Amino acid sequence: MGPQPNSEVLKLSKHGKKLLKQHRYQDAEKIFAQALEMEPDNSYILVGLGDLFRLTNKFGKSISFYTRLLELDDSNVFALRGIGDCYRGLRQADKSIDFWKRYLEINRGDVHVMVRLADAYKSLDMLDEAEQLYLESVRVQGEDRYALMGLGNLYYKMHEDDKALKYFKKLLSIDEHYVAVLTMVGNIYQRRSDYENANKYYSKATELEPDNSYALYGLGNCQRGMGNTDVAITLWNKILQREPDNQNILSRLGDAFFINGDIDTARRHYERSLDLGFDAYALIGMARVYRNEQKFVDAEACCNRVLMEKPGFERAIEELSLVLIDKDNARK
């Protein structure tokens, strides 16, 4: 007499999970399908199939199996967590929230899911809820990298720089190889005009990723802030070589060459940017070029074009004032 169905299904379930761990997804699917024919309501098989399709990014099929399981057992933690992860994969954070909340009612201390739920809240601009959950995650597991990253990012987004620095630096003390974090810390110090500290973090980021545009851009800003315009030009040119249509870099380079007195090269960079489309900073740069040449009508036109697109833009108003003053002085 052959084995009873339950024992056979259990054997198939174990084999299917083993294949899943080996990333032999097609073989695992055949085994799970065979077992499901024997016991259509077997929770282990339904979880196995849900996990299989989630891991292969077939999120719709995965959700269907997890949902079948929740119809049988509405507190099954594997299905609750799995559906939340599927909606996360589908970039539907709002649909993940309810499933992860139900999961955490049962497994409150699962920091991994707590952080994912906090990330979902943050993506929906539910910042108070995200902050509370991140903080709870850190209380549960003080060195969880994702919780520290989440808190740092949250406070960075909220412009609470002291708090952002606290959690970013704690994360970097655990692992200093987070280039994005190094760059954001550099950005905070740069906003404070603390170029020495900003330069330190940007430099570390570029040591790890020499071609990282964000770090090179920040490093260039620091060097310009410290008066090293030639160094800034070299750094920004590295970005321009890879991103020839980067208008922000083109106008930055234009400004740097203008400061260095190379007006023709500055003009070329501003014009390259404007060939690509509207760029307020390139137009203001051109206004400075025209003002330097005493072409006040052209300078005014550049400023007015900026103000048409961006009414009240302070930099354009300042430049327009200088144009009018120089124009008046030239008549005397």
| Pairwise CA distance, residues 210 & 204, whole Å | 10
CATH topology of domain 176-243: 1.25.40
CATH no. of 108-172: 1.25.40.10
Do residues 111 and 141 make contact, with C-beta atoms less than 8 angstroms apart? yes
CATH code given to domain 1-90: 1.25.40.10
Nearest alpha-carbon partner for 81 in 101, 57, 100: 100
Domain ranges for the chain:
1-90, 108-172, 176-243, 260-332
Q: Is 242 left (phi over 0), alpha (psi -120 to 50) or beta?
A: alpha
User: pTM of the predicted model, to two decimals?
Assistant: 0.82
Beta strands in the chain (DSSP E): none
**pLDDT score for 108:** 87
- Is the CATH number of domain 260-332 3.90.180? no
Nearest Cα to 288, choosing from 266, 314, 265?
266
What does each of the 332 residues of the chain score in pLDDT, given as a tens digit? 333 447 888 899 899 999 999 999 999 999 999 999 999 999 999 999 999 999 999 999 999 999 999 999 999 999 999 999 999 999 999 999 999 999 999 998 899 999 999 999 999 999 999 999 999 999 999 999 999 999 999 999 999 999 999 999 999 999 999 999 999 999 999 999 999 999 999 999 999 999 999 999 999 999 999 999 999 999 999 999 999 999 999 999 999 999 999 999 999 999 999 999 999 999 999 999 999 999 999 999 999 999 999 999 999 999 999 999 998 888 87
Q: Is 176-243 in the same CATH topology as 108-172?
A: yes
